[in-house]
Amino acid sequence: MKLLKLFLILISCQSTIYAQSVYQVEIPFQSQSEVDDLANYIHIDSINANNISTVLTKDELKDLQNIDGLNPTIVGEVSTAVQSSTGIFSLFDFLADTLEFPTRDADYHTYDEVNVELNKLVKENSKHMQLFELGKSYEGRKQLGVKISYDGFANELSKPALVMFGTHHAREHLSTEVPLLMIQKISDLMKQDVDFRDLMRKRVIYVVPLINPDGAIHDIKDGVYKFWRKNRSKIKDSKHVGVDLNRNYGYKWGTGGSSSNPRSSVYKGEKAFTEPEILSVKKFVESHKNIKTMISFHTYSELILYPWGHSKSKIAKTDDQKAFVEMANQMSKWNNYKPMQASGLYVASGDTCDWAYGEHGVFCFTFELSPTAAKGMFGLGFYPGDEIIQSVVDANIDPVVYLLENTAEPLKVLE
Ligand SMILES: [Zn+2]
């Protein structure tokens, strides 16, 4: 039976996996405006002294090669063979359950495992936690979340709330683990720390670890990582699939740093909020006016980003601007991430935090988790191994507690 399976998988490798090879590419640049311009076509994974590094599909690469003056250099092709030789997965993974992470990354939670874990946590903490359904993905999967408040949920909407979202982007699996494992940390703190328990009598935390389940499943399917970023929605009149969920939010949507080409990994969608995965975020935030602060977890680079992303301008309300900077600086003392305005990297519009702050005044931060840079070639920045999970969770608990303390009146950080 296993031999038959191996045979079938080897045939399918030829047709599907190799066909989906992606390329590690470097592109030299002279000025910041060239970096900002590139962000209209592709996702920039990291920026070095004089080149940017990214992982592209064949189609994306072709599009870039057609642009005058650009000199993209292919550093490597990321095929199954390469992944195997770097030890990310073994032949054993081909034979194992095709919806699991590779053996090397077994500690990462699949979509099903996230839901089992959330159910378990709520069962063990039934007085202080509740399960909720944020919404459903394009393919109909539930986006499950947990509410946490020490005294239950009778006066939920009168308590200032912090929200944590994970994995808008499929391949950023570490950004599922951090909010998920944070729930257990928060539970432990409520048991051990009287001050924290008192704080949690006056606060609500909402955690949704996996915003993009369809994409996350696609990225690990068949035992090989696909470097997939978007969701899996079918695009009208196109053979290409998926919208970049962090370019589809409806504040200054489509004003730079996103693409109108469906085959781009930063495709913004036909209009704002076309995608069910983030339409559910919109509805949830609109119906929970108690939400004052937010963290959207992503990988990688070790950064704490605050608005604006769509513009190089500062926030017009001076006190808000100062509070964002102050909070980012404070939080960076614990996790050692670099605090900066999101557009300082490159301009990008339609992201969660521009919308959360621009539309609702929520003090929203994007945390780009570890590692700082891709190790070697082949985009290992997105797949850093499961051995780093716990240390990344530990590094981020104090920033979360700090933000929670300042969730009722964020401007008080300026006093
Ligand atoms: Zn991301």
Burial 113-127 (b: 16+ CB within 10 A, else e): ebbebbeebbeebee
pLDDT digits (tens, 9 = 90+) for 177-235: 999 999 999 999 999 999 999 999 999 999 999 999 999 999 998 777 889 999 999 99
Active site residues: 368
Sequence-separated (6 or more) residues with CB below 8 Å from residue 391: 370
Residue 9 has pLDDT above 80, yes or no: no
What is the 157 CA–ligand 1 centroid distance (Å)?
29
C-alpha to C-alpha distance for 258 and 162, rounded to whole angstroms:
28
| Residue-level pLDDT at 294 | 99
pLDDT digits (tens, 9 = 90+) for 301-346: 999 999 999 999 999 999 999 999 999 999 999 999 999 999 999 9
Per CATH, the architecture of 105-414 is what?
3-Layer(aba) Sandwich (3.40)
| Residue-level pLDDT at 96 | 55
What is the 380 CA–ligand 1 centroid distance (Å)?
14
What is the 298 CA–ligand 1 centroid distance (Å)?
4
> What is the radius of gyration, based on Cα positions, of the chain?
21
The mean pLDDT of 5-10, rounded to a whole number, is: 46
Tokens describing residue 407: 């969730």
| Residue-level pLDDT at 100 | 87
Q: Give the chain's mean pLDDT.
A: 90
| Residue-level pLDDT at 19 | 41
**Chain-centroid distance, C-alpha 187:** 23
What is the 373 CA–ligand 1 centroid distance (Å)?
14
Check residues 54 and 95 and name the one with the higher pLDDT: 54
Asked whether 177 and 393 are in contact (CB, 8 A), the reply is yes
What 8-state DSSP symbol labels residue 15? I
What is the 213 CA–ligand 1 centroid distance (Å)?
14
Check residues 78 and 386 and name the one with the higher pLDDT: 386
C-alpha to C-alpha distance for 264 and 256, rounded to whole angstroms:
14
pLDDT digits (tens, 9 = 90+) for 250-296: 999 999 999 999 999 999 999 999 999 999 999 999 999 999 999 99
Asked whether 26 and 70 are in contact (CB, 8 A), the reply is no
**Chain-centroid distance, C-alpha 339:** 17
Domain range annotation of the chain: 20-98, 105-414
β-pairing verdict for 22-28 and 51-57: antiparallel
Sequence-separated (6 or more) residues with CB below 8 Å from residue 271: 253
| Residue-level pLDDT at 92 | 57
- Would you call the peptide bond into 228 cis, given omega within 30 degrees of 0 as the criterion? no
What is the 166 CA–ligand 1 centroid distance (Å)?
9
pLDDT band (50, 70, 90) for residue 375: low
Residue 7 has pLDDT above 50, yes or no: no
Residue 134 has pLDDT above 80, yes or no: yes
What own/partner pairs with CB < 8 Å and gap ≥ 24 does 261-265 have?
261/41, 261/63, 262/235, 262/238, 263/57, 263/59, 263/60, 263/63, 263/238, 264/41, 264/42, 264/60, 264/63, 265/42, 265/43, 265/56, 265/57, 265/60, 265/229, 265/230
Least confident of 57-71, 110-124, 327-341: 57-71
Residues by chain with Cβ below 5 Å of ion ligand 1? 169, 172, 298
- Would you call the peptide bond into 41 cis, given omega within 30 degrees of 0 as the criterion? no
| Helices 111-124, 213-220: inter-axial angle, 10-degree rounding | 130
| Residue-level pLDDT at 18 | 37
What is the 45 CA–ligand 1 centroid distance (Å)?
9
CATH of domain 20-98: 3.30.70
Residue 368 has pLDDT above 60, yes or no: yes
| Residue-level pLDDT at 99 | 82
Residue 40 has pLDDT above 50, yes or no: yes
Least confident of 19-28, 165-174, 217-226, 304-313: 19-28
Asked whether 344 and 301 are in contact (CB, 8 A), the reply is no
**Chain-centroid distance, C-alpha 380:** 16
pTM of the predicted model, to two decimals? 0.92
Of all residues in the chain, what percent carry a pLDDT higher than 70? 89
